[in-house]
Structure 1
Amino acid sequence: MEGAIPNPEVFTHVRVIIGIILGLSVSRLLTGIARIIQHPQSKNIYIVHLGWVLFTFLTVVHFWWFEFYLHQLVLWKFEVYLFVIFFASLHFLACAMLFPDSMEGYNGYEDYFMSRRGWFFGIVILIFIFDFIDTAMKGISHFHSLGPEYPFRNLVLIGLLCAGIYLSNRRVQLALLVAALILQTAFILIQFDTI
């Protein structure tokens, strides 16, 4: 709409929708962890899988935190709204890939994770690609305010995740996880300790 007047209530509406999707994401992760706690022997716990659960939890919570900067958008258009909803939905898909509805046909979480790691890592790669677009939407000054560590973090994580798709060695998978957790945690603590 040409000449539309900015409405601050639109951001509140968008925040509610994002909150619903991300709430479902966190719920999926917590429910999965609760199932493991309730029946640890029946699930064949896999430390790399649990590490990616932690990484994904941090990523979802971090997304919820930094999306506050969307309030800087003066005028919301449907395509921006649709993009943000899709971006949030990628987080839910990543969480759903970690805890499927059924483990039938798998010998435990290691078997499941290793067989589905391409899907999981692919979705998380999309999250970090979309993150570049999302950050640019908040303005070039916001993008630059994150410093060189922002593109470094995203590009290195994308590289680690790509490696995770193709490398099935268990030690390599653990090393990739540890590197991703360190990188993500350090970036969050450096950049986003306050809004």
Structure 2
Amino acid sequence: MSAFEFFFSFFGLILGLSVAEVMTGFARVLKRRNRIRMGYVTPLLAGLLLLDLASFWSNTWGMMQQIQISLHLLIVGVVVAGTYFLAASLVFPDDLDEWNSLDAFYDTHKRWVVGGVWLANMVSGIGFTAFVTTPDEFWPNMVSADSLITVATFSAIMGGAAFIRDHRINAALFVVGMALYLF
């Protein structure tokens, strides 16, 4: 097993658990859809999180093929993947009987979810860039126009969703976020 395979098997396991957590929550809700109002913001948030996880997994696979594995890299990986898992575990309620609608659960937990996804992206962007670039390449990569536009756009979407209460605006932000991944 190569160092990359070792790293990615560990990292991929935690990311895979994040995907499973979202899908399991969605399945629980679908099974009880006659007892809980689903709404639209929670499924859209789940969709955005799944796309973000898939994109992150794909990008990491491409970036990390030639990297030297170290304890510091594993720590960054644990922080990022663990943050994704925590966010994923808060998308859907564990006990559906405690909530009459997903919208009420969303309103209570959305800042933790979108904040976690934002944090995972920022830590991974900085942390993994530090591992795949030389010191001379790091800052030019971090402050390139592409990087700044990506960070600003993602931060606006996630920040807007975290602090704007209107579900229609949140839904629009999530749809824009998903479109950016897909197109």
TM-score by length of 1: 0.80
What residue number does 1:116 align with? 109
Contact 2:25–2:94 (CA under 8 A) maintained in structure 1 = no
Instruction: Name the structure 2 match of 1:178.
Output: 175
| Unpaired segments ≥5 residues, structure 2 | none
Tell me the residue number matched to 2:100: 107
What displacement does 1:107 show? 2.1
Read off the aligned partner of 1:130 and give its amino acid letter.
V
RMSD between aligned residues: 2.1
Match of 1:44 among 6, 27, 37: 37
Tell whether the 8 Å contact from 2:91 to 2:110 is kept in structure 1 after alignment.
Answer: no
Is 1:12 equivalent to 2:9 in the alignment? no
SS of 2:64 mapped into structure 1: helix
Alignment coverage as a number of residue pairs: 175
In structure 2, the CA distance between the partners of 1:43 and 1:150, relative to structure 1 (3 Å rule), is farther
Read off the aligned partner of 2:82 and give its amino acid letter.
S
Deviation of 1:51 (Å): 0.8
**Number of the residue aligned with 1:151:** 148
Letter in 2 for 1:176: L
* Structure 1: gaps (5+ residues): 1-7, 187-195
CA-CA distance at 1:14 after TM superposition:
0.7
Retained in 1: the 8 A contact 2:87–2:116? yes
Matches within 5 A, 1:1-195: 9-68=2-61, 69-73=63-67, 75-133=68-126, 134-139=128-133, 140=137, 144=141, 148-186=145-183
Per-residue CA deviation, residues 154-182 of structure 1 (Å, 9 max, x unaligned), is: 32111221122221012221221122122
Residues 104, 38 of structure 1: alpha-carbon distance in 2 compared, 3 angstrom cutoff: closer
Q: Is contact 2:76–2:124 with CA below 8 Å preserved after alignment?
A: no
- Per the TM alignment, residue 100 of structure 1 is displaced from its structure 2 partner at its CA by 3.1
CA deviation vs aligned residue, 1:12-45 (integer Å, no higher than 9, x gap): 1111101210111111122122222222122311
Per-residue CA deviations over 1:76-105 (Å, capped at 9, x if unaligned) read 221111111211122211211102322354
Percent of aligned pairs sharing the same letter: 21
Aligned equivalents of 1:56, 1:152: Cα separation in 2: 20
Cα gap change, 1:55 to 1:26, in 2 (>3 Å): same
